């Protein structure tokens, strides 16, 4: 479960930011990642619930912005939102496609702090 290491990195980042900016507690963490980035939101929440006690983020709410998968279809000559994990155009069923979205790594977008 790589979500555990993601959460540990996130908590380290929160500690560094708290020293730089002088806050004591985090109330909300807004995270963003692509649907195809192999990050499971339930596993991420579980890892956060296990690792955050005793930190500035203890009791914080995680909010996920999950970015949709997208591909460019050379047959349609346009970008399409993916409706499944299959690398096939949802409009024409073409296979001449390239991923253009949904693979974004986990990012901390904003925090609400005290």
Go through the domains of the chain in sequence order and give each one's CATH number. Answer: 3-68+103-113 (3.30.2320.50)
Interatomic CA distance for residues 71 and 92, integer angstroms = 13
The model carries a pTM of 0.87
pLDDT digits 0-9 by tens, 47-92: 999 999 999 999 999 999 999 999 999 999 999 999 888 899 999 9
pLDDT at residue 97 in the model: 97
How far apart CA 111 and CA 27 sit, in angstroms, is 7
What pLDDT, on a 0 to 100 scale, did the predictor assign at position 83?
A: 83
- pLDDT tens, position by position, 8-23: 999 999 999 999 999 9
How confident is the model at residue 1, as a pLDDT?
59
């Amino acid at each position: 479960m790589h979500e555990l290491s993601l959460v540990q990195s996130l908590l380290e980042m929160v500690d560094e930011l708290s020293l730089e900016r002088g806050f004591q507690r985090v109330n909300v963490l807004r995270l963003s990642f692509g649907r195809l980035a192999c990050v499971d939101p339930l596993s991420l929440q579980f890892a956060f619930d296990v690792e955050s006690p005793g930190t500035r983020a203890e009791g914080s709410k995680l909010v996920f912005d999950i970015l949709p998968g997208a591909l460019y279809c050379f047959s349609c000559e346009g970008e399409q939102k993916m409706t499944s994990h299959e690398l096939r155009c949802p409009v024409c069923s073409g296979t001449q496609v390239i991923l253009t979205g949904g693979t974004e790594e986990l990012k901390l977008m904003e925090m609400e702090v005290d």
